[in-house]
Amino acid sequence: QVQLVQSGAEVKKPGASVKVSCKASGYTFTNHYMHWVRQAPGQGLEWMGIINSSGGATRNAQKFQGRITMTRDTSTSTVYMELSSLSSEDTAVYYCARDPSPGESHVFQFDSWGQGTLVTVSS
C-alpha cells in the first residue's frame, strides 16, 4: 500500500531554514506528482506547492514565492521541501500528499498523506 513517511519534528529560530523529507513506498514514485500542504496549530489546511517526482519541475503558491524549494531524489523515492526565512507564522505541521493522477497529468487532489512534520519557529 502507498506509504509516505516524513522526517521528524524540527525547532528553528526565526530567519532560519528547514528541510522536510518525505519517503514514498508502495507505488512507482516517478508516476505521481507530490504536493506539500501545511496546517498551523488549530487552523485549516494550506496548499504550498507541487513537484513532478519524475522530472523535478515545481510550481508553488505565490505566497511562498522565493522562500520554498522542492526537490526530489528518484534513487531513494524521496521528496524534500525547504522553507527559508522562517517566522513564527510558519509554525505548522507540514504534510506531503500524493496527487492521485498517474503519469504527466495531475489533478490537485491529495489521495495519500504523510504523517506530518511539526515545525516550530521560536526564538
Partner 1 sequence: DIQMTQSPSSLSASAGDRVTIACRASDNIYTYLNWYQQKPGEAPKFLIYEASSLQSGVPSRFSGSGSGTDFTLTISSLQPEDFATYYCQQSRSPPYTFGQGTKVEIK
- Return residues touching partner 1 (CB under 8 A): 44-47, 59, 61-63, 95, 97, 100, 107-116
Query: Across 7-122, where does the E strand assignment appear?
Result: 10-12, 18-25, 32-39, 45-51, 58-60, 68-73, 78-83, 92-102, 112-113, 117-121
Closest contact distance (angstroms) between CB of 40 and partner 1 is: 12
Closest contact distance (angstroms) between CB of 116 and partner 1 is: 6
Closest contact distance (angstroms) between CB of 22 and partner 1 is: 12
Chain centroid offset of residue 49 CA? 7
- Residue number, 29 or 114, with CB nearest to partner 1: 114
